[in-house]
Structure 1
Amino acid sequence: MKKFKLKVLGIFAMTLLSLSLFSCDDNGNDNNNETTSRLMVKMSDAPGDYDEVNIEVLDVMIKANSDSGDDGWISIGDKTQVGEGKIYDLLKLTGGTNIMLTDSLVPSGSLGQIRLLLGDENTVVVDGEKFALTTPSAQQSGLKLQVNQTLIGGTTYEFLLDFDVDKSIVTTGSSKYILKPVIRVSTMEASGVIKGIVSPAVDYQVLASVQQGEIIFSAFATMDDKDGDSNDGDGTFQINGIPSGTYTLTLTPDPTSGKTPITVDNVIVYNGKTTDVGSVAFP
C-alpha cells in the first residue's frame, strides 16, 4: 500500500503546477473563467443489505480523453488527503445525503473520464461483525468512469457517483468479501431527482425506486428507530441521477413489516430539476 500511495503522490506532484494556473483569487473568483470550469464530484449510495460499507478514497482524477492508458491524468482530489485516504460509510448516504469528493477549477474543454482511486482500508460490517473488503489487483489502479462531457468555460458541472453497494460486494463464502466497484455516473445537467417523505416516519426499511428499461434507480428512506436518538431519520428519501421522463415511483417496505408496496404514478422528472412527490403514507 505504501508504494501505491507514493505513486499517487508522484502523479499529484507532476500535475500541481498545471493546476495552479487555474486558481481563484482572494475573493474566491475564477481568475480565468473563459478557460476553466468548476467541477464538483459527489458520491452517493445505492442501497445494500449490510450494517456498514466503509470505503477508503485516496484521490479523484480526470482525463481529457477516453484512452484507457495511464498517461494524461490530473489529480483534482482534496490536496490535504491525496495519498492519505479518507474513509466513508456508504450506507450513511441515504435520504438525499451525499459527500463532496472534490470541488475544483479545471481546464475547460473535453472531459473524457473520471478516475476514483480507492485504498485498501475497505471493510464491510455484516450482523455486527467487520470483514475486510479485498480489492482485486485489476482495480487497484483506480476505477475509470467514462463521462465524455464538454466543459464550457465559466460553467459549473456537478457529477454524482452512485456507488451500487449490492452489486459492488461479492462474497465467496468462508466470510470472504471482495470489492468490485459498480458506479453509475450522472450529471445534474443531464438528469433529475425525485424526493419525498414517508410520513409518519417508520421503524422499518423502505426502498424508494423507479425503473427505466432494465435500469433501476433507488434509495432508502431514512428510518425512525423509535429510540429517541438524535440520529433517527424523518422518513425522507431522494433518488438521484434519473433521466428525464415519466415514472411510477414504488415504495417497498421491509417484508418483515407486514406492509405491502405502494406506488405513485405519473411522476415527471426534468433534467436539472428536483421533483418533490411530497408526503406518502403506508395504510
Structure 2
Amino acid sequence: MKFQLLLPLAVVAALAFTGCSEDNDAQNQAKLEVRLTDAPGDFSRVSLDVQQIEVHLKDEADPAGWEKLNFTPQTLNILDYVNGRSALLVSTDFAPGDLKEIRLILGSNNTVTARDGEVYTLKTPSGQTSGVKLKLDKATLRAGETYQLLLDFDVAKSIVERGNWKPGNDKKERYLLKPVVRLVAQEITGGIYGQVTPAAALPQVLAIRSSLTPADTFSTNADATGAYRLQGLPSGTYRLEYFPTTTAPTNQPAYHSAVRTGVVVVNNQLTNVPTVGLAD
C-alpha cells in the first residue's frame, strides 16, 4: 500500500505518555507520548483496529531497529477525536535518543459505518502486514523532557470507495483503507515549580492531569530546601498532591499531606504554585 505522508514535522515543544516517574532513575529518561486525532469524513463511525505501535531507533535499512511501545491493542472510533480532541495511545518513559520512524500495526477488524447505518469492512492489505509507517525528521528525545507524536488521520482521504461497487455487491468490497496521516512531533516544555514547608518533611510531589483516562501523572521530590520543579508537562489543568515521606520529630506538629487543584500549565511557560505547608 502506498501511504501519502504530509511532512515535514512541526517540531515545537516536548511530550508525555501516561506514566509515573517514581525514582531518581526516571530523571535520566525522556517521556514519549503518542496521540491520534482526526480530520472528519462523511461517515458516522470509523473503527480502526490498532494492534501494535513501534518506533524505529536505527538506520532505516536495519530491520532490528524497531522497538515495541507499551500499548494495549484496542479498536478506536477515530471520529470521536476531532476538533482538537485526541486519543492518548501511549505514555511511557523512554531512553533518550533519536527516533527515525513510527509504525502502526493494524488488525483485521477495521470498519466504516455509513450515514444510513450500514457497516462495511475496510480492506487494509498492507496495514495488516508491514504496518502504517511514518518517517520522523530530527525527532530527538532528551532526558527529563516530554516528546509528543501526534498522528493526524485524514478520514476523508484515507477511505476510498471502489468505483465499480454497486448496492447488492459484497459489502467487504466497497471501501479500501489507504491511510493518509500527517505526523506532527513536538517537544513539550511547560512546567510547575514551588516550595513546600517544612523541608524536613522530605515531600514527594505528584502532578496529575486527571482529564485523561487513565490520568497522566508526573512526580518529583522536593530538595533539601523544600523547593521542587516539574518540567516537560503537557498543557492542561493539574491536581498537585504533596506527601511527606518522614514523620515529624517528637513535640513538633505532625506532618500531613496536601492537595492543590486547578493548577494550569501552558506550553513554554513555568507556573509558580504558592508555598504549601505540611505541618499543623
**TM-score bracket for the superposition, by shorter chain length:** 0.5 to 0.7
- Counterpart of 2:107, as a letter, is G
- Counterpart of 1:42, as a letter, is R
Query: Contact 1:66–1:146 at 8 Å: present in 2 too?
Result: no
Q: 1:144 and 1:87, CA in 2 relative to 1: closer, same or farther beyond 3 A?
A: same
Higher helix share: 1
Query: Contact 1:58–1:118 at 8 Å: present in 2 too?
Result: yes
Task: Give 1:107's aligned residue.
Answer: 95
- Counterpart of 1:114, as a letter, is I
1:195-274 mapped onto 2 (5 Å cutoff): none
Query: Contact 2:57–2:67 at 8 Å: present in 1 too?
Result: no
Query: Contact 1:139–1:180 at 8 Å: present in 2 too?
Result: no
Per-residue CA distance 1:89-123 (angstroms, 9 max, x = gap): 11111232211110011111111111111111000
- Counterpart of 1:44, as a letter, is T
**Equivalent in 121, 129, 151 of residue 132 of structure 1:** 121
SS in 1 for 2:135: strand
**Equivalent in 24, 31, 37 of residue 25 of structure 2:** 31
Unpaired segments ≥5 residues, structure 2: 1-18, 166-170, 189-266, 269-280
Q: Does 1:75 align with 2:68?
A: yes
RMSD, aligned CA: 2.4
Aligned pair count reads 163
Query: Please, which moves more after superposition, 179-188 or 67-76?
Result: 67-76
Structure 1 residue 32 displacement after superposition: 4.4
Q: 1:68 and 1:90, CA in 2 relative to 1: closer, same or farther beyond 3 A?
A: farther
- Counterpart of 2:31, as a letter, is R
Normalised to the residue count of structure 2, the TM-score between the two structures is 0.53
- Counterpart of 1:172, as a letter, is R
Q: 1:181 and 1:77, CA in 2 relative to 1: closer, same or farther beyond 3 A?
A: farther
Structure 2: distance between partners of 1:138 and 1:57: 10
**Equivalent in 176, 193, 201 of residue 178 of structure 1:** 176
Unpaired segments ≥5 residues, structure 1: 1-23, 191-271, 274-283
Higher relative contact order (CA 8 A, sep 6+): 2
- Counterpart of 1:62, as a letter, is V
Structure 1 residue 29 displacement after superposition: 4.3
Task: Give 2:243's aligned residue.
Answer: none
Structure 1 residue 128 displacement after superposition: 0.8
Task: Give 2:151's aligned residue.
Answer: 161
Normalised to the residue count of structure 1, the TM-score between the two structures is 0.53
SS in 2 for 1:141: coil
Structure 1: distance between partners of 2:92 and 2:58: 19
Task: Give 2:78's aligned residue.
Answer: 90
Q: 1:38 and 1:101, CA in 2 relative to 1: closer, same or farther beyond 3 A?
A: same
